[in-house]
Amino acid sequence: MHLAVCLTGYYGLMGRTLRHVTLVCSAILMAALPATAQLPSNATLKGSYWVRYLGIIGYPNDFATSFAGSMTFDGNGNFTVTGVGYYFNGSSTALTFSASGGYAVSSGGTFSINNPFAQNAINLYGGVGVNGIAVGSSTDSGDQGPQYEDIFVAIPQSSAATASTLNGTYRVAGLEFAGGSLSGMRNPFFNITADGNGNLGNVALGGTSMALNDVATTQTSPGATYTMTATGSGTMTFPAPSGVATANQLIAGAKNLYVSPDGSFFIAGSPTGYDMQVGVKAISTGGGAALSGLYFNSQVENDDPIGPFSYQGAVSEIPSIQEEIYHWRQNYDDSASTDYTFSDTFAPNDNGTFTGSTYLFAVGGGGNYSIQAGAGGYYFLTVYVKVPTYSGSGVFLNPSGVVNAASSAPFTAQIVPGEVITLYGSGFTSSATPFFSSVPVPTILGGAQVTVNGVLAPVYYVSSGQINAIVPFSTPTDASLLKIQVLANGAQSNVVEEYSGTDSESTSPGVFAVTHSDGTTLVTTSNPAKVGETLVAYACGLGATNPAVVAGAISPAATLATPLFAVTLYDFNGGGTQATVPYQGLAPGGPAGLYQLNFVVPSGMMLNATGVTMSQLDIIGPDGDENYQALVPVSH
């Protein structure tokens, strides 16, 4: 069992990954930024917003719930609410909601809002995207009462909207609990064309419903119309499709309508029902490139394969390699909330749409928004809103540019003790400094330092726009916001706030590289792994260890430092085949923060009989699932 590698090799491993997305994602985060803009704060949410809320008051109740109305934020952390809501417990019942509450917006635009629509003291978490549009969900909601699986969307109110504000073609995704029933799911997905005068014409409604046995269906709503007031509110009316029984209709009737001031985004829903429709201005061409950069996203889902489920987080879209890297903070019915990170290959069609076996997707609004609805027996609604980009003079730390150095998981993912992080910004140093090649790792390099909650972090690489550092093991895991700052030759950057772990078991794994058993020879397509072979994965983010260590110090070799809470490794090519892990812990002799997992390639995998199979490595910790961490080439 290999437990050592030469010191100079450690820093090469900490700077590479078998997935090529890390370097490309870095390039996106370091790309040219717009002129200096004010960083997010509580003042980012200020003024009156139109709100639509839809979800499930979860286990043990499982009641559909909805709300439509307005929220007014004072810019100082307080809000008020007006509107009407309902929940269904055999019949529609008026929802008692809080008329006021508190909120906080972090430096990266993430928010926590006291959920006024919940029975228990929980928060909505999410982010404020471009044009002030906010999306979120109630994660971590099951400690003091029922779980909530929900989606929250808010848009700034207008002052001079007219019927012409809604003009042109829109992609629309919707979700409905028909009659308030969790077994009455509907998922419409269709286009509308607004003429700017209140007319939508005959609308071809597409989608699926449980009542229609999950089969994709098209119905026509004749002579659909809309109205608009100066504040951006109005009504969108879909006459019932001719000859279609009420139970089988995908969408019908009058909907409360709220339109963004620029007319590129809208939300709608029945005044008394349990539904939400989200529309984005359609793209006619260039859709493949339009889906690019960071997006806040949120989803609510209810279907037989999944059950009640929701999440909020962020996704990094990388069109140059048709790759996307996700982070979700997810909430299942009757289970604890967990972090989930993964990557996928995806590219929309030229018109911005894409049809998959389980979903229908569209990017719109010039690439600022995306929507997604379920298909093929899956029922959900997802909303994406682009994360604004920010820059600053002097030493500037990008508030959405602090990520796991191995996985490049978006900045909404929790940061845990001992994690290796990459920080992006500008003005860090006048010249690049090579990876530090010995331990202990210094806390100053190239004149640059990093503090996490005021504690200096070991720094092993620095350039003008990037720093790689190791999070101190003393960093709290109490669900607080960590304060991260760069000091460069005496000058201080802005302070960036990032989520900490939620408890002592917090992990945030990422894999730098996978080698053969010698610990140095990379597993590649030309030198693949074999079934039964023991491989070595170098990783970060496995959390606190026993014995305790100091970040960046020499990891003990005589008494191996192992995680307080072990992780498991799976291979999805084997249908979730679990791998045997003879050793997991800090890499002996290396810098404390670099972990090593020795694992045996499991038998029973679904392998290509004549060539190499790219096996997808999945790491599951006590509070999260880090999927697709590395592609491991395996042959017979």
pLDDT of residue 24: 34
The two structure tokens encoding residue 152? 């929250």
Band of residue 505 on the pLDDT scale cut at 50, 70, 90: confident
Q: What is the pLDDT averaged over residues 435-447?
A: 88
pLDDT in tens, 314-356: 999 999 999 999 999 999 887 778 899 988 899 999 999 999 9
Domain 508-635 has CATH 2.60.40.10: yes
The per-residue pLDDT for range 556-576, each reduced to its tens digit, is 999 999 999 899 988 766 667
Paired tokens of 19:
């997935």
Name the residue with higher pLDDT: 497 or 14. Answer: 497
The stretch 548-560 carries a mean pLDDT of: 95
Rounded Cα distance, 127 and 139, in Å: 13
All residues at 6 or more sequence positions from 38 whose CB lies less than 8 Å from its CB, including other chains: none
Distances (CA, A) of 488 to 185, 397, 434, 460, 495: 55, 11, 17, 15, 13
Rounded Cα distance, 386 and 383, in Å: 10
Q: What is the mean pLDDT of residues 517-544?
A: 94
For the residues 126-139, what does the mean pLDDT come to? Answer: 97
CA distance 633 to 457: 35
**What is the tens place of the pLDDT at every residue in 161-195?**
999 999 999 999 999 999 999 999 999 999 999 99
Task: Give the pLDDT of residue 29.
Answer: 37
Tokens of 40: 């997010």
- For residue 503, what pLDDT is reported? 82
User: Is 469 a residue whose pLDDT tops 90?
Assistant: yes
Distance CA 75, CA 213 (A): 47
Q: Kindly state the average pLDDT of the residues 368-381.
A: 97
225-278 pLDDT per residue, tens:
999 999 999 999 999 999 999 999 999 999 999 999 999 999 999 999 999 999
User: Is residue 143 scored above 80 in pLDDT?
Assistant: no
Model pLDDT, residue 322: 94
Q: Does pLDDT of 21 surpass 70?
A: no
Find residue 324's DSSP bridge partners: 317, 344
Report whether 165 contacts 263 (CB < 8 A).
yes
DSSP letters spanning 546-611:
ES---TTSBPPTTTT-EESS--EEEEGGGTSEEEEEEEEEE-TTSBTT-EEEEEEPPSS----SSS
Residue 8 pLDDT = 45
Averaged over 2-29, what is the pLDDT? Answer: 46
* CATH tag for 163-280 (out of 2.60.40, 2.40.128, 2.30.30, 1.20.120): 2.40.128
- 3-state helix, strand, coil split of the chain in percent (to 5) is 5, 50, 45
Phi (first) and psi of residue 66, to 5 degrees: -155, 160
Q: Kindly state the greatest CA–CA separation across the chain.
A: 78
474-493 CB burial, b ≥16 within 10 A, e <16: ebebeeebbebbbbbeeeeb
* pLDDT attached to residue 320: 95
Ranges 71-85, 106-120, 568-582: which has the least confidence: 568-582
Burial class (CB in 10 A: 0-12, 13-18, 19+), 262: middle
Dist. CA 289–CA 310, nearest whole Å: 28
Average the pLDDT over 346-371 and give the result: 97
Helix (H) or strand (E) holding 287: helix 287-290
pLDDT band at 10 (very low <50, low <70, confident <90, very high): low
High-pLDDT (> 90) share of the chain, %: 77
Q: Give the span between the Cα atoms of 366 and 344, in whole angstroms.
A: 23
C-alpha triplet 408, 409, 413: angle, nearest 5°: 140
163-280 matches 23-39+392-499 in CATH topology: no
Tell me the residue type at 98. Answer: S
Domain boundary assignment for the chain: 23-39+392-499, 163-280, 508-635
- pLDDT at 218 > cutoff 60: yes
Based on the number of CB atoms within 10 Å of its own CB, is 526 exposed (0-12), middle (13-18) or buried (19 or more)? exposed
Answer whether residue 17 shows pLDDT above 70: no
Q: How far apart are CA 622 and CA 504, in angstroms?
A: 10
CATH class of 23-39+392-499: mainly beta
**Among the ranges given (136-140, 244-248, 378-382), the one the predictor scored with the smallest mean pLDDT:** 136-140
On average, the pLDDT of the chain sits at: 91
Find the mean pLDDT for residues 279-302. Answer: 97
Q: Is the pLDDT of residue 2 over 50?
A: no
> Given a cut of 50, is residue 609 above it in pLDDT?
yes
**pLDDT higher for 468 or 631?**
468
The region, left, alpha or beta by phi > 0 then psi within -120 to 50, assigned to residue 256 is beta
| Exposure string for 541-566, b = 16+ CB within 10 A, e = fewer | bbbbbeeebebbbbbbeeebbbbebe
Cβ–Cβ under 8 Å, residues 253 and 241: no
pLDDT band at 142 (very low <50, low <70, confident <90, very high): low
d(CA 219, CA 204): 6
Please give the full DSSP string across 391-436, using - where no structure is assigned: --SSSEEEEEEEEETTT---TTS-B-TT-EEEEEEE-S-SS-BPPP
